[in-house]
Structure 1
Amino acid sequence: MRRKSVIKILHGMLTAVLLLLVGGYCFYQYFFNTQPNDVFVSKQKLSNTVWLYVTKYDEGNATVADFYRFYLDKDDGSGDVMEALKHRNPFMEAKTKDVIATAYGNTVNIKVTGKIYSFTNSDLFYSDGIAIMPVINLIANGTRD
């Protein structure tokens, strides 16, 4: 009789721990993977297949610095650019929107003066069913803030 009650108590504790783990994981995924509230800033053609899109974080206030996200993608001609960018990850996040961007084929050159929060030197998107993987060269000049 004592063994059954111990097993019931252990089973209940294990169930509670597993529910907390699953609930915590779901909260983590929701909180950290929700799409940011950005507004569209600019669009620039770099080559025949590569376009540069810039968005700005729109939830800031007087104490939050401007935060810009940079995307490489095709020009799909649709009016809602933000809907298309929701499914993309930015290749760079920076404090400034002023960049000098040029491209030759699938090689993109970016020159930034300011603070960069994150950067990756490659990206991937599809244009007319063809995978396009531009390589990104970055020249960054930091500033003191």
Structure 2
Amino acid sequence: MHARSVIKKLHYMLTAVLLLLVGGYTAYYYFSNTLPQDVFVSKQKLSDSVWLYATKYNEGNATVSDIYRFYLEKDIGNKDVIDALKERAPFLETNTNVITATAYGNTVNIKMTGKIYNFTNSDLFYADGIAVMPVINIIANGTRD
């Protein structure tokens, strides 16, 4: 009889620990994958099918540097750009919004000076049902802080 109550208590403790682990993982996943609070900064036409959009992280303070995110997308028009870009990943994240961008067809050329936090040299989006996959070339001059 005594062994049965010990097993029962161990079962309850194991169940509680597993519930805490699952709850902790769920909370971590939710908070680590929430979208950043960005504000729209600029929009620039690069070619007939490629537009460059820039957003800025809006929740920074004195200890958080500015973070600018750059997206390549079709012309979104006058609707809310932030909502349209929520499903997209930026191809470039930097500490500056001063970049020079040009395009020829689906080749995008970027020149900038500053820190790069994240960069990928290709992107994919759909314009009028057609897949557009621009190739991105970057010339970046770093800064010393």
* TM-score for the superposition, normalised by structure 2: 0.92
The amino acid that maps onto 2:34 is: T
Matches of 2:108 and 2:12, distance apart in 1: 57
Does the alignment pair 1:111 with 2:111? yes
1:109 maps to amino acid: N
Give % identity.
74
Q: Which runs of 4+ in 1 moved over 3 A?
A: none
Per-residue CA distance 1:51-86 (angstroms, 9 max, x = gap): 110001111223322110111111122421111011
In the alignment, what sits opposite 1:122?
122
| Structure 2 alignment gaps of length 5 or more | none
CA distance in 1, matches of 2:108, 2:139: 11
Q: Match for 1:21: what amino acid? A: L
CA RMSD in angstroms comes to 1.4
Instruction: List gaps (5 residues or longer) in structure 1.
Output: none
Shift of 1:5: 2.3
Letter in 1 for 2:131: A
Q: TM-score, normalised by structure 1?
A: 0.92
Superimposed CA distance per residue, residues 6-28 of structure 1 (whole angstroms, 9 cap, x where no aligned partner): 33223212211221121111111
Give the distance between the partners of 1:24 and 1:144, measured in 2 at CA. 39
Instruction: Pick which of 8-17 and 104-113 moved more.
Output: 8-17
Structure-2 separation of matches of 1:73 and 1:66: 23
Corresponding residue of 2:8:
8
Aligned residues: 145
Is it true that 1:93 corresponds to 2:101 in the alignment? no
Question: Where in structure 2 are the equivalents of 1:66-85 lying within 5 Å?
Answer: 66-85=66-85
